[in-house]
Structure 1
Amino acid sequence: MSKNKKTANDKAWETLFETHNILEEVDENGCFEIESAQINKLRESRLMAKFDHSVNLPDIFRENHLSILPISRSKYVIGRFGTHFEVKYDPEIEVIPFDFPSDIESIDCTNLYSESSALHCAFTIGLIDDLLGEKTAYTVSGRMSTESFNFNIINPTTKKPYSIKVKNSQCEIDAGFESNNYFVLIEAKNYSIEDFLIRQLYYPYRLWSKKITKKVIPVLMTYSNDVFSFFIYEFSNDENYNSLRLREQKNYTIAPQEIQRSDVDRVFNNIQLIAEPDVPFPQANKFERIVDLLSLLLERDLTKDDITENYEFDRRQTDYYTNAGLYIGLIENYQDSVTKKVIFRLTSEGRSILHKRPKLKYLDLINKILERKVFYLVFQLALELGQIPPEDAICKIISENRSDINDTTIKRRYSTVRGWISWIWFQIKD
């Protein structure tokens, strides 16, 4: 990766590693403690040490199997620690529909694009009560001190534990809900994920486990593509950071109007094909992630570094998925007059679509895909076959309609076409 492609975090950490001989210290002593003040000389430590997903780790961390954890309000420890936990969405789990209360006016269920709004909605319509099987009260949120505790963390390469002492570090709780028998701590993400930083549940869990007598239950919630997914965990050993285990996954949605085949037929029959834009043909296989990116941009405009450092996209994926949004005409970019950085935002059409209720939103997104000729022709063939067309048929359509895509890259583009057509197919519920 060339120097100018690196994020601000990458560049700053490379300088810090060289200045403080961090790799040598880790090799010799097993870890390296670094003060916030040392990090702040190059970039704000809060931004430099926040890696919610393993893909967010700077290159020098990933290449050397390193991670970082806070151990106080002013100090971090760097070492070869297993800090993240893989998330697997079970496609066989039923999505339970919940009605939205008719008397609630202060929550817009078509605009749950922030973590806090999704959490408030989940509590208000009764998802948290259903999750625990008990009536709950919304009792805790925000930043607080962890107080002091010790724990062991595993080196994933050697499988050996390393002992860490935490003293009055800071942790943040997205939401805490208390019932007669339980206290549930929720870490929320407003997009689907492949892994997350265990610390976001573990530090609050250790704090509250010694503050109250009720059983503390750590939960991850993701809100993506209008589905609330809850992952209910437990720590089998409170002093073992890596003892996190999944107990159950539950999915919910706000009573949806299902998309029928007749709805998609109506969209298809009224498609007006439009000219290909001056944007690379998309290489972004999961259309669900495009929906997530659109949702993030509804909250605020983002640079490539913002997307790469704060959400679960590496640099290459950031390029691919922003280009995909540009391709379907729902994302546009502009240059900041001061920083000269390229910034991405939703188009007015994209903003309008995302504010619609789910059924209309997804039908509009289907329309945005099918007004591009290759996708239209592949979906037309899918309707004729009654299933997703085989690889050779899709590749033939791409080859005949996009002379700019050569034989060596056509199969990569095939994966995107198949992925987007499969996404449309999945939306049809009858």
Structure 2
Amino acid sequence: MAKVRSRKQDIAWQYLFDRFDIPDKIEKNGGFEITSSDINKYVREYYANRPDNAPDARNLLKFDFSSDLPEVFKESVNKEVFGKKAQFSLMPMGKDRYEISDFKTFENLKYEVLEPVRMTFPKWISGIRPESPETINGEAVAQSVAEMSGMLKYVMNDLDADVVATLSGKKGTGLIDFQISHFRDGKTKFVIDGWQSEIDGVYESPSRVLIIESKKKRPEDFNIRQLYIPTRIYHDQMKFPKEIYSAYFTYTDDVFSFHVYQFSDINDFNSLKKIREYEFVFEEESKPVTRETLKMLLAQEPNSKEPRREDGELVPFIQANDPEKIFEIPVVLSGKSIQSEQGDVFSVGTKEYLAESFKFDIRQSDYYANAAEYFGLAQKKDGYFKVSELGTMFIKCDYNTKLGLFAKQLIQRPIFRAMIEVWIATGRLPEKNIVEDLIRLHRPALMMRFRTSFSSLVKYHHRSIFIYGYTL
């Protein structure tokens, strides 16, 4: 039996995979069909002799991100047969029927380096205010803010047109068939008959349609089904043709982001192509961070050493490649224990808590929590990550002030300070060999441990300085 985590989802699916020999059946037949009724029956049977309650099929079947996949979906795949990157996934067939196969169902979210579009918000709206982030307390509210401020017109490239909301909520698929890609056998035909899809929002202008999937987090990837099924439903019901776009929308740390896609072939599940990406922020009274700000900070802030923990241990060097998630860490760590949809409870500050909050792999919990600690936004005590005093201040600041605080932290770190000095003096980032020399000087143990080539780049951007991940 493959090694599993303690999540109920992992335990339940490991039992089902073993009971029905699912990997072998997929290898022989191309897929394995299962019903939610059978899942409930056999999982409850298994949990009858356990002290905890059995998870419900409704929650066991929810895979919005690849990190939601139970470990057995990833570990039980015969890589020699299906390919090195293969994993199993699940697609709805209709009503309570599902098929498990080596479907390619997830799309990576590649975050570009963008200058954000600065927006204004209607002054007459009282109940929701961008300067009070606590009022934007859910995905639907964030989506409404994007609509009210004109972001959707911008995304649809219809600034002078009327944009109206036309559909949201549950919608039946009817009978649809399409092509879907596999890791082993290329494309096959797939049929869905009468499944209920959840649609976050559909917006129309006179010439275009925008279908939105909303999340109040920045995941590493998403399930293509969340965009394809709503797009297909709307395409099939349109009375006259329009351009259809699909957008994966996120709201985190005062930034509204849109990844805009089109399906080049409406009958091909995997034909989505990224068209463009936007980031939006709201105008603020505080001053933005500029090159002059950085020059002033370099003059004011003294040279310092690499950060250490209370016990004298060096804080691990950066291995996180999405700064937006680093900025979210203090917010997440200031929350409360959370319970997953499967019933698992995760305590604040644990790796599992961060993985569940961000919907990424557990190993990335260390990467991002350590990065937040490296920049003073968090601290690790007794094995738990906690929000620091600076992190608490960071949460309460507006957008521009956050950038200033983060720029100050960068300049207090010797490696990044030296890189910023190069950028200020030349307008260019230091070459890779210079970066390696800096790390060799300030973190020699890191160079001794990792012998393959790597680079750590710093770029001036709307978030002050963006840190890019390095390959070790």
Does structure 2 retain, via aligned residues, the 8 Å contact 1:113–1:298?
Answer: no
Q: 1:247 to 1:280 in 2, by over 3 A?
A: closer
Matches within 5 A, 1:102-251: 102-110=123-131, 111=133, 114-132=138-156, 133=158, 134-167=161-194, 169-213=195-239, 215=242, 217-223=245-251, 226-251=254-279
Paired residue secondary structure (2:459): helix
Q: Report the Cα distance in structure 2 between the residues aligned to 1:356 and 1:387, rounded to whole angstroms.
A: 30
TM superposition score normalised by structure 2: 0.74
Residues 257-309 of structure 1, C-alpha deviations (whole Å, 9 max, x = no match): 54211222333333364752246423324234312444555666555335435
CA deviation after TM superposition for structure 1 residue 363, in Å = 1.0
- Sort the Cα spacing of 1:161 and 1:386 in 2 relative to 1 into closer, same or farther, 3 A: same
How has the CA–CA distance of structure 1 residues 15 and 180 changed in structure 2, closer, same or farther, with 3 Å as cutoff? same
CA distance in 1, matches of 2:28, 2:351: 36
Which aligned pairs between 1:3-152 and structure 2 lie closer than 5 A? 3=3, 8-40=8-40, 41=43, 43-63=55-75, 64=77, 65=86, 66-89=88-111, 91=113, 95-110=116-131, 111=133, 114-132=138-156, 133=158, 134-152=161-179
Give 1:347 shift. 3.8
Percent pairwise identity: 27
Q: Which amino acid aligns with 1:282?
A: F
Matched, 1:263 2:293: yes
Structure 1 residue 75 displacement after superposition: 3.4
SS in 2 for 1:407: helix
Deviates more, 1:325-334 or 1:182-191: 325-334
Given the superposition, is the C-alpha separation of residues 173 and 299 from structure 1 closer, same or farther in structure 2, using an over 3 Å criterion? farther
Does the residue aligned with 1:109 lie in a helix, a strand or coil? coil
Residue aligning to 2:316: 281
C-alpha distance in 2 between matches for 1:78 and 1:19: 15
Root mean square deviation of aligned Cα: 3.7
Shift of 1:126: 0.8
> Where does the alignment leave 5 or more consecutive residues of structure 2 unmatched?
44-53, 78-85, 338-347, 467-472
Q: Would you say the 8 A contact 2:181–2:187 is kept in 1?
A: yes
Asked which structure has the greater RCO (Cα within 8 Å, sep 6+), the reply is 1
Could you tell me which runs of 5 or more consecutive residues in structure 1 were left unpaired when the two chains were aligned.
336-341
Q: Distance in 2 between matches of 1:276 and 1:194?
A: 29
Superposition deviation, residue 22 in structure 1: 0.5
Alignment of 1:337-348 (within 5 A): 346-347=387-388
1:323 to 1:249, Cα distance in 2 relative to 1, 3 A: closer
Letter in 2 for 1:281: P
The alpha-carbon distance between structure 1 residues 249 and 404, as it changes in their structure 2 partners (threshold 3 A), is: closer
Aligned position for 2:464: 427
1:353 aligns with 2:407: no
Are 1:362 and 2:362 matched, yes or no?
no
* Distance of 1:391 and 1:225 partners within structure 2: 31
Kindly tell me the number of residue pairs found equivalent between the two proteins: 416
Note the 1:325-344 alignment, pairs <5 A.
Answer: 325-332=372-379
**TM-score, L = length of structure 1:** 0.80
CA, structure 1 residues 294+116, in 2 after alignment: closer, same or farther (shift >3 Å)?
farther
* Letter aligned with residue 318 of structure 1: S
Question: Taking structure 1 as reference, are residues 387 and 181 closer, same or farther at Cα in structure 2, changes over 3 Å only?
Answer: closer
Separation (CA, whole Å) in 2 of partners of 1:379 and 1:248: 29
d(CA) in 1 for partners of 2:370, 2:144? 33
Task: Tell me the amino acid that sits aligned with residue 214 of structure 2.
Answer: A
Conserved 8 A contact 2:249-2:258: yes
Over 3 Å counting, the alpha-carbon distance change for 1:226 and 1:157 in structure 2 is farther
Letter of the structure 2 residue corresponding to residue 171 of structure 1: S
Shift of 1:182: 4.5
